[in-house]
Chains A and B, each alone.
Chain A
């Protein structure tokens, strides 16, 4: 890899079930985490539903993979940007999302939240700042 570190964003836009995008996208994030890049994720539009607490898939016959989001901190993916307007438009608040945390090794392993609520403009700036954006 010649020490090359790229800024990579995984942009999740779709509801968690009904298509495989959300779950496959998460899988790509977990695989990609092995490559020591500068990784963040962003959740916009129906993608914000992916982080909703208390998911129950028993009626749709799909695996509830939402507990896996809690493992992201172990994979050093610690910046999950969630668009405020997308939450608002869906009647969701930050408290409706799963509490996702990581331990900051540069701060004596203090537990911190991985979720950062940002507005639409800021999402735009973040996307602009990436070398690579993967859409799911």
Chain B
């Protein structure tokens, strides 16, 4: 599969995750969200940016349980709970947000 962003064609895997982490620009998240008919708010971006920083530090995309706990620690308990995160990312906060963030599919998500 492929994704059109800024006139460039980017490779993705069969589930829509970017093949090449280095291809990511914010417009990638926007293009994926447009395709899902999901409107990206500041709260969505907060999670995307958080995931990119997490990957930068640990070289893995966190499982949803770990993501929830880590967000709670960094951004507060009102955001570090699955209800809040599923409202933002109904397809699964780790899976969907990791895809928008250009990361691989989280380890441990089926």
Contacts of B70 in A (CB 8 A): 74
Task: Evaluate contact between B59 and A64: CB separation under 8 angstroms.
Answer: yes
Chain B CB within 8 A of A21 CB: no
Task: Evaluate contact between B59 and A34: CB separation under 8 angstroms.
Answer: no
Contacts of A67 in B (CB 8 A): 57-59
- The interface residues of chain A, by DSSP majority, are classed as helix
Among A2-10, A25-33, A79-87, which stretch is in contact with chain B? A25-33
Query: How many positions in chain B have a CB within 8 Å of any CB in the partner chain?
Result: 12
Task: Evaluate contact between B108 and A34: CB separation under 8 angstroms.
Answer: yes
Task: Evaluate contact between B58 and A31: CB separation under 8 angstroms.
Answer: no
- Taking the closest CB of chain B, its distance from the CB of A15, in whole angstroms, is 18
- Taking the closest CB of chain B, its distance from the CB of A56, in whole angstroms, is 14
CA distance A66 to B70 in the complex (A): 20
Contacts of A64 in B (CB 8 A): 59
Task: Evaluate contact between B66 and A71: CB separation under 8 angstroms.
Answer: yes
CA distance A8 to B94 in the complex (A): 26
